[in-house]
Amino acid sequence: MKKFLVYMCALVISLNVMGVDVSAADTPVIKNDILVQSFSTGGKTISEGTEFDLNVTFSGSIPGTATDKKIQIDPGSFVVRNQGLIINYQNNINIPMKCSGTNNTITLTCSYTDSGTTYQSINKITVDMVKYSDSGSSSPTDTSKYTPELVIENQEIPTANAGSDIDLALKLKNAGTYTAKNITVELIPPTDKDFSYETNTISLIDKIQQLKKTETAELNYSFLVKDSTPAKTYSCQLKYTYFNLYGDKVEKTQDIYIKVRKGFPSVDLRLSEVTNDPEIIKAGQKVQLSFLVNNNYGLSTVSALDVTLEGLGKGFTIVDGVNGRRISNLRPDAKGETVTFDLFASSDLKKGSYPITVNLKYKDSSNAEKEVKKEIYLMVDSGNTDIAIRNIKAPTGQINASQPFNVSFDIVNTGEVKAEDLIVTVKGDEEIVPMSQNIQVINEMEVGATKQLTYKFQPTEEAKTKTHLLNIEIKGKDEDAFTTINQYVGVYVKAKKENADGTTSKPIIIVDNFTIVSESTQSEITNAGENFDLTLYFKNTHDSKKVQNIKVSLGAEENSDTDKAKAGSVFTPVESSSTFFIKEIAPGQSIEKQLKIFTIPFAASKVHNLKLDIYYEYESDEKLLTETIKDAIPVTVIQPSSFITSDIKIPETMIVGNQTDLEFDISNTGRTSLDNFTVRVEGFSSTNSRNYIGNLETGRSTYYSNEIWVDEEGEITGALIFTYTKPDGKEEEVRKEFKTVGQAMDFGPSEGDMGMDMGEFDKMPGQEKKSNKTLIIIISSVAAVAVIVTIIIVRRKIKKKKEMNFDE
């Protein structure tokens, strides 16, 4: 009897310990901090059978640290159509409903969990209803209106890793007022082509005899989600067919969602630590390519792994003639094997990124042969081919019509590599004609070399009095590898009819000089969509006559974009008119005029001409004469570069040595190409600290994937550094910093504590761990039982000892 009482005491103590903790953890706190601010039924008159949308707006705020934010709907005698009775919390919700009774009170319970405590706010709203009477009607009764409403009550989205089972435990509820009979429920799996599965359930069709009002039925389905299924949320459907008590048939569908996370395939071969020596590959050069092959993300060992390269011959060849490396086996817990190939870059390779395919053929744990291919990129840089135009010599004084003149200049190779096949052209307008070959070809120029070129021109007899512009243009044979250079030089020409008599010649206004300063770049190059400051110097070239009533009109070429919305003048004056007035300019005098000009955002990256129409008056033989002169100012415009990334998620805490996937999209949102785009990881350890993306064209997106981890405890500050080359040849760097806290792996009590369940550390990533509260409950219960057992054993020994003493 004593033994029985002792054991009963132990059991009561254990149950009390467990029971008190569990109830305390599961009891919600009524806080009522989320209240219904307003609601509406869309202006409808509500009566039995009316379908309407109930729109509800809540007031109050939920802490930012809160989780599990939900709204539970108790519709009373209303019916919620085509959705569950538990939905995610939002400040404004829309509930599709149907009136099917007389109880017009709806209860909305808002709940959330913060710091381990669940809080609830209970809101009751009353919907106005109108009751209609069918008495006295000779029409037959419409029995179809007595329709049951079947819905899935639990709307939690089940989650599974690819390669594992997913179980759907659904609760079907008759949320209507009327009984449903002969119910057939069919589960239609996701039709997304990416979703690959095998069903573990004998049938996907359930039959239920009937469900009365508020009754429920359990539905259970199971799938094996294959490891080839990408991680995302998939939609499947439940198709209902049932009848009311009068035999009216009802058919409806309801969407159910399944979330698949990244799985853990049995074999997952990856390439990391990709390096090439030299780092910058030049055409005609040997290069050593190395990379690490690992199976760290798989679960089983592979054997007879053959590594070969594909895609050779289009730019790279094997130096030693052996295109293959054998790895005997590769275990998931091994670091991996480094593979090296000696390659030769073809001498005719141009600057750019070249793909190399790595073929991995292996045998899995069942000795089946399999194959996977990975792609890496080798960047070939022909070096910087920079050409400068220097020492331009052109006439600085007046040139008469039909008078030949020379233009000469030096071309200097200021780059890092030899320049080849340069085409140098000098062109004037239709009134300046070449007297020599105006196109010259330079076959090659060594680094630092200088070559002087001379061109001969002559104004035509019809040449007008003004400053004529000549364009010096240097192009490469390969336009993708060499950016065209343009530079302008002006020559002042006097018309023939004014040459004879200098005393009666008309005065001429020329743009003696000009300066351009961009507001953003503080240089002569301006960004599209931005302002630049333009200073013009107008000079009266006559030595005795003044000019007066000068009107200068600005004009610009039209934007060449075919989109009408982007059409229009490239340049527009800011805070001023496109026409301005100068009272007079004395003989030989210069007048300065400062303007602010806006460049339209869609202007192409090139040299645009800002046109000038100069109208003025002057006196000759006591007569007031007028003249109009046209001129142009060359303005170099480039498109600003920009890019965005999708959300970059780095955990607030990271376990030391544990890898974290870093994945995001990069999109070029600018209007110009981002060349030599590179992503570099700083402050964190990673499988690839520097990723070369290549040239990212405007509007294009690319995907970045890497694994990072921390090597020490404490606060860690790291960064992602994005670098690329802008259209003006300058390198841009964008830095995004992140902070995290490195933590050591928590192994809990020592392995000598036999009461601790060490199996928890064997769980796969992605599986949920038991809460600390549950763990404390279990440990407390086990400890209580251990104490009681110890007391019983001690009491037995004391009793036995007493009996032995009594016998003696």
The predicted-structure confidence for 384-408, as pLDDT tens digits, reads as follows 567 888 888 888 778 888 889 999 9
Please check whether residue 243 is in contact with residue 249, taking contact to mean a CB–CB distance below 8 angstroms.
Answer: yes
Distance in angstroms (rounded) separating the CA atoms of residues 650 and 740: 8
Greater confidence (143 vs 446) lies with 446
- Mean per-residue pLDDT over the chain, rounded: 80
pTM here? 0.34
Would you place residue 132 in the very low, low, confident or very high pLDDT band (cuts 50, 70, 90)? low
Would you place residue 10 in the very low, low, confident or very high pLDDT band (cuts 50, 70, 90)? low
Percent of the chain with pLDDT over 90: 19
Q: Is the pLDDT of residue 109 over 60?
A: yes
Would you place residue 71 in the very low, low, confident or very high pLDDT band (cuts 50, 70, 90)? very high
Q: Is the pLDDT of residue 426 over 50?
A: yes
Distance in angstroms (rounded) separating the CA atoms of residues 475 and 454: 17
pLDDT, mean of residues 447-454: 90
Would you place residue 81 in the very low, low, confident or very high pLDDT band (cuts 50, 70, 90)? confident
Give residue 754's pLDDT.
40
Please check whether residue 460 is in contact with residue 428, taking contact to mean a CB–CB distance below 8 angstroms.
Answer: no
Indicate the range of 223-227, 292-296, 335-339, 409-413 predicted with least confidence.
223-227
Would you place residue 533 in the very low, low, confident or very high pLDDT band (cuts 50, 70, 90)? very high
Give residue 765's pLDDT.
40
Q: Is the pLDDT of residue 228 over 50?
A: yes
pLDDT, mean of residues 798-808: 46
In this structure, CATH architecture of domain 501-638: Sandwich (2.60)
Greater confidence (524 vs 88) lies with 88
Fold exhibited by the domain 270-380:
Immunoglobulin-like (2.60.40)
Q: Is the pLDDT of residue 336 over 60?
A: yes
Give residue 776's pLDDT.
56
Residue 392, phi then psi, degrees to nearest 5: -70, 125
Q: What is the DSSP letter of 498?
A: G
Give residue 497's pLDDT.
57
Give residue 101's pLDDT.
63
Indicate the range of 133-147, 152-166, 217-231, 525-539 predicted with least confidence.
133-147
Give the dihedral sign, CA 273/279/280/286.
Answer: negative
CB atoms within 10 A of CB 265: 16
106 alpha carbon, distance to own chain's centre = 43
Q: Which secondary-structure segment (H or E) carries 777?
A: helix 772-807
Give residue 32's pLDDT.
87
Q: Is the pLDDT of residue 240 over 80?
A: yes
Give residue 291's pLDDT.
92
Please check whether residue 570 is in contact with residue 637, taking contact to mean a CB–CB distance below 8 angstroms.
Answer: yes
Domain ranges of the chain: 2-27+773-806, 31-132, 152-263, 270-380, 383-464+474-482, 501-638, 643-743
The predicted-structure confidence for 159-202, as pLDDT tens digits, reads as follows 888 778 888 888 999 988 888 999 999 999 898 888 888 887 77
Distance in angstroms (rounded) separating the CA atoms of residues 186 and 353: 52
Give residue 556's pLDDT.
76
Give residue 25's pLDDT.
44
Per-residue burial over 232-244, b = 16 or more CB atoms within 10 Å of its CB, e = otherwise: eebebebebebbb
The predicted-structure confidence for 736-747, as pLDDT tens digits, reads as follows 998 999 888 654
In this structure, CATH architecture of domain 643-743: Sandwich (2.60)
Q: Do 152-263 and 270-380 agree at the fold level?
A: yes
448 phi-psi bin (left φ>0, alpha ψ -120 to 50, beta other): left
Greater confidence (523 vs 25) lies with 523
Distance in angstroms (rounded) separating the CA atoms of residues 61 and 69: 12
Q: Which secondary-structure segment (H or E) carries 775?
A: helix 772-807
Distance in angstroms (rounded) separating the CA atoms of residues 241 and 182: 8
The predicted-structure confidence for 356-378, as pLDDT tens digits, reads as follows 889 999 988 778 888 888 888 88
Q: Tell me, what amino acid is at 505?
A: S
Give residue 195's pLDDT.
87
Distance in angstroms (rounded) separating the CA atoms of residues 676 and 672: 13
Indicate the range of 60-64, 227-231, 292-296 predicted with least confidence.
227-231
State the residue for tokens 């002057």. Answer: 618
Would you place residue 768 in the very low, low, confident or very high pLDDT band (cuts 50, 70, 90)? very low
Q: Is the pLDDT of residue 567 over 90?
A: no
User: In Å, how far are 280, 285, 400, 694, 726 from 277, measured between CA atoms?
Assistant: 8, 10, 62, 18, 27
Give residue 197's pLDDT.
85
CB atoms within 10 A of CB 427: 15
311-314-320 Cα angle (round to 5): 75
Please check whether residue 407 is in contact with residue 489, taking contact to mean a CB–CB distance below 8 angstroms.
Answer: yes
Cβ neighbors of 119 (< 8 A, separation 6 or more) are 28, 29, 30, 31, 33, 111, 112, 113
Q: Is 771 exposed, middle or buried (0-12, 13-18, 19+ CB in 10 A)?
A: exposed
Give residue 377's pLDDT.
81
Q: What are the beta bridge partners of residue 553?
A: 579, 613
79 alpha carbon, distance to own chain's centre = 42
Would you place residue 24 in the very low, low, confident or very high pLDDT band (cuts 50, 70, 90)? very low
CB atoms within 10 A of CB 295: 26
Q: Is the pLDDT of residue 379 over 50?
A: yes
The predicted-structure confidence for 539-564, as pLDDT tens digits, reads as follows 988 878 899 999 999 887 776 555 55
Q: Could you say which of 2.60.120.580, 1.10.3210.10, 2.60.40.1930, 2.60.40.10 is the CATH number of the domain covering 383-464+474-482?
A: 2.60.40.10
Would you place residue 499 in the very low, low, confident or very high pLDDT band (cuts 50, 70, 90)? very low
Give residue 681's pLDDT.
92
Distance in angstroms (rounded) separating the CA atoms of residues 296 and 346: 35
Q: Could you say which of 3.10.129.10, 3.90.800.10, 2.40.50.140, 2.60.40.10 is the CATH number of the domain covering 152-263?
A: 2.60.40.10
User: In Å, how far are 19, 22, 24, 241, 772 from 777, measured between CA atoms?
Assistant: 9, 8, 12, 46, 9
Q: Is the pLDDT of residue 19 over 60?
A: no
Please check whether residue 705 is in contact with residue 663, taking contact to mean a CB–CB distance below 8 angstroms.
Answer: yes
Which SS3 state, helix, strand or coil, does residue 527 take? strand
Percent of the chain with pLDDT over 70: 82
Give the dihedral sign, CA 569/573/577/582.
Answer: negative
Cis peptide before 573 (omega within 30 of 0): no
State the residue for tokens 């694994």. Answer: 707
Query: Using CA atoms in the order 312, 314, 320, 326, what is the torsion angle rounded to 10 degrees?
Result: -10
User: In Å, how far are 391, 400, 405, 466, 467 from 397, measured between CA atoms?
Assistant: 17, 10, 11, 12, 11
Distance in angstroms (rounded) separating the CA atoms of residues 66 and 762: 30
Distance in angstroms (rounded) separating the CA atoms of residues 789 and 755: 15
The predicted-structure confidence for 172-182, as pLDDT tens digits, reads as follows 999 888 889 99
Give residue 608's pLDDT.
84
Helices (H), 303-433: none
Please check whether residue 354 is in contact with residue 380, taking contact to mean a CB–CB distance below 8 angstroms.
Answer: yes
Q: Is the pLDDT of residue 749 over 60?
A: no
Q: Could you say which of 1.10.3470, 1.20.120, 2.60.40, 2.170.120 is the CATH number of the domain covering 31-132?
A: 2.60.40
The predicted-structure confidence for 625-656, as pLDDT tens digits, reads as follows 899 888 888 888 888 788 999 888 888 888 88
Distance in angstroms (rounded) separating the CA atoms of residues 251 and 370: 47
Give the dihedral sign, CA 780/785/788/793.
Answer: negative
Q: What is the DSSP letter of 771?
A: P
Greater confidence (780 vs 516) lies with 516
